[in-house]
Amino acid sequence: MKMLFNKLSSQRSKNDDSLSLDASKWQLALEYSSIGLWEYDAELNRVFFSEGSKQIIGVKDPNFGNNPNDWNDRVHPEDRTDYFKAFQDHLDNSTDMYENEHRIKCEDGTYKWIRDKGKVVEWTPEGKYKRIIGTHTDITSMVEKEEQLEKYLQLITSQNKRLHNFTHIVSHNLKTHIGNFKNILEFYDDTNSETEREELMGHLKTISEGLTSTIVDLDDIISIKSKSNSNDLNENVNVFDSVEKVINNLEIDIANNEIAIFNTIEKDVELFANRSYLESIIFNLISNGIKYRHPERHGKIIIKSEVTDSDVTILVSDNGIGIDTEKFKNQLFEMYQTFHGTNREDSRGIGLYITKTQIEALGGTIDVESKLNEGTTFTLSFNK
């Protein structure tokens, strides 16, 4: 490597703007393999970039590198601290070689991931660095694959968790209902008292309702998951119109509870999605805002949108009783979990679980921010 750069340096008088592609045959091979070469000359205070380095980011300016910060200024703001620290650590002799992975801004405005390596190869008599040489390797494809693998891992983990919850219902809840049925029937056979039999029949009715509710929950979840990979029911859905439809359907509840509701969704926002799922999601979140209104103030629910070139975000905010997210942050979207402390008979702890499942079936995500006695905001994010 040192001999290569000595050869390259000797050609600067012929071409001071870049490293010569003819310095060696294998340099051309490096460039075709998305690897570039660079050299920093402290005396000239400039960086010489091979065509390979410039090709990675689409730069054609022959003067690129005359300003020693030409590359530095393109490093992604989130990566700069580690980038400069890694380089300084090598200059301070804390590391034998400089090495860093960072995002670099290309000419077309996109970012690529670069593995950057370098080493001081020449010092001044005073012990200061004089010449540093290094390589740039385009690792964008590798990073994207790693990110995709991480997404798959998170998806598998999430699916395993849901499977565990599903198994819990089947093994525990259904087993409990069946056991209760068996016990009540045994008591029924053992008694001759009509009064006791009527009482036992009342218990059987209660158990039957609980069993029916559990089966409905399971059916809802199975139905959502069975359709989650199908685009057959997807269509372009106007989000504003869907929210208006939900508000109209809840008109009586909204009026009875004196809730002020504001649909500020931009009227041209559309999603390619399952209309029924989207409306069900909005319905559940608005219903929660009504159900868990604060008893000491007039209720208010605001639905708004934020749109970028790639994403659509829907926010559903209320000024209700709120949730202690610090206490329940790991349970918010679990099955049969309630967090409001209201002891409401209609709080089954299934709504948020189904809502999250539906959102994931649409390829979206859901987050929640909430404070006790202040209110809650649900943030739904979808790819545009």
Specify the higher pLDDT residue, 176 or 139.
Answer: 139
What confidence score (pLDDT) does residue 183 get? Answer: 78
Q: Which DSSP string corresponds to 110-170?
A: -EEEEEEEEEEEEE-TTS-EEEEEEEEEE-HHHHHHHHHHHHHHHHHHHHHHHHHHHHHII
Cite the DSSP H helix spans in the chain. Answer: 2-10, 25-32, 51-57, 80-91, 140-168, 175-190, 194-227, 239-249, 251-256, 275-291, 325-328, 351-361
C-alpha triplet 184, 189, 194: angle, nearest 5°? 90
What confidence score (pLDDT) does residue 175 get? Answer: 67
Other CB atoms within a 10 A radius of the CB of residue 104 amount to 23
What confidence score (pLDDT) does residue 106 get? Answer: 96
User: Given its phi and psi angles, is residue 312 left (phi above 0), alpha (psi -120 to 50 degrees) or beta?
Assistant: beta
What confidence score (pLDDT) does residue 117 get? Answer: 96
C-alpha triplet 290, 327, 320: angle, nearest 5°? 20
Structure confidence at residue 252 as a pLDDT band (50, 70, 90): confident
β-pair partners for 188: none
Which range is least confidently modeled, 1-10, 19-28, 129-138? 1-10
Specify the higher pLDDT residue, 252 or 80.
Answer: 80
Stretch 150-172: mean pLDDT, rounded? 68
* Contacts for 233 with CB less than 8 Å, ≥ 6 apart: 227, 274, 275, 276
For the chain, give the percent of residues with pLDDT over 70. 74
In order of start, what are the domains of the chain with their CATH numbers? 2-138 (3.30.450.20), 140-227 (1.10.287), 229-384 (3.30.565.10)
Position 9 pLDDT exceeds 60 = no
Stretch 287-306: mean pLDDT, rounded? 92
β-pair partners for 46: 41
What confidence score (pLDDT) does residue 158 get? Answer: 67
Structure confidence at residue 344 as a pLDDT band (50, 70, 90): very low
**What letters, b where the CB count within 10 A reaches 16 and e where it falls short, cover 131-168?**
bbbbbbbbbbeebeeeeeeeeeeeeeeeeeebeeebee
Answer yes or no: pTM beyond 0.85: no
What confidence score (pLDDT) does residue 63 get? Answer: 93
